[in-house]
A and B are shown apart, each in its own frame.
Chain A
Amino acid sequence: GESVGLHLPTLSVQEGDNSIINCAYSNSASDYFIWYKQESGKGPQFIIDIRSNMDKRQGQRVTVLLNKTVKHLSLQIAATQPGDSAVYFCAENGGNAGNMLTFGGGTRLMVKP
């Protein structure tokens, strides 16, 4: 996943525009991926997940794309709203059929009205 550290990448978008948040994962054996949204003062909230046998999955206003060749995951948010402002995390399972998820460092999305 993304390296964790002091610097949190920030994406600033205009309300109504589409947002794309990217994640480079590290373990080629990972076969399950999740995107979480975390608002200030709250716990991470599930947005959407995808398994490695798919390269795209759509939810309500969100789409996750998976490119296993380059170990890249992206989250697309359509018609971004102020309520979408949060930190977004990707997580991977490391290929273990159990349940340990490794989280990336997160990206902060700021929506300008």
Chain B
Amino acid sequence: DAGVIQSPRHEVTEMGQEVTLRCKPISGHNSLFWYRQTMMRGLELLIYFNNNVPIDDSGMPEDRFSAKMPNASFSTLKIQPSEPRDSAVYFCASQRRATNEKLFFGSGTQLSVL
């Protein structure tokens, strides 16, 4: 199993540009999560999906952030327009089913907004 695959690994962009982060969960997993990690705030849950449906997006910081999961094998997190304070590592994680089980994390996308 290839694990959770995220792309790109690194993204450097200028303030105001649109950024799209991509995630492929582990095949057969029903839940997908987007987390953001910063030194200031640690790991924060942004949004999660069960069976491709967004369940809780209360962690999404602003309307500039949006996430989609068009099918069971793909999700995107979009920031438009991006701002320097969005600079962080963004992790995608998947879980086999919607219950108490471990999350499998991808390697993350290091985003730098200049």
Chain A residues with CB under 8 Å of chain B are 4-6, 8, 31-32, 34, 36, 41-46, 49, 51, 89, 93, 97-106
Cross-chain contact B99 with A98 (CB below 8 angstroms): yes
Is the pair A6, B39 in contact by a Cβ cutoff of 8 Å?
A: yes
Tell whether, in the assembled complex, residue A6 and residue B40 are in contact, meaning their CB atoms are under 8 Å apart.
yes
Query: Which residues of the other chain, A, contact B55 by a CB distance below 8 angstroms?
Result: 98
Question: Residues of B contacting A104 with CB < 8 Å?
Answer: 42
Q: Which one, B70-78, B80-88, B105-113, is touching chain A?
A: B105-113
Residue of A nearest to B41 (CB): A4
Binding site for A on B (CB under 8 A): 4, 31, 33, 39-43, 45, 48, 50, 55-56, 91, 93, 95, 98-108
Chain B minimum-CB-distance residue to A31: B100
Considering the complex of A and B, which 4 residue pairs feature the smallest CB-CB distances, nearest first? Answer: A4-B42, A43-B105, A32-B100, A103-B43
Q: Are the CB atoms of A43 and B98 closer together than 8 Å?
A: no
Contacting pair A46 B42 (CB below 8 A)? no
CB contacts (< 8 Å) of A97 on chain B: these are: 99-100
Check if B98 sits within 8 Å of A99, measured CB to CB: yes
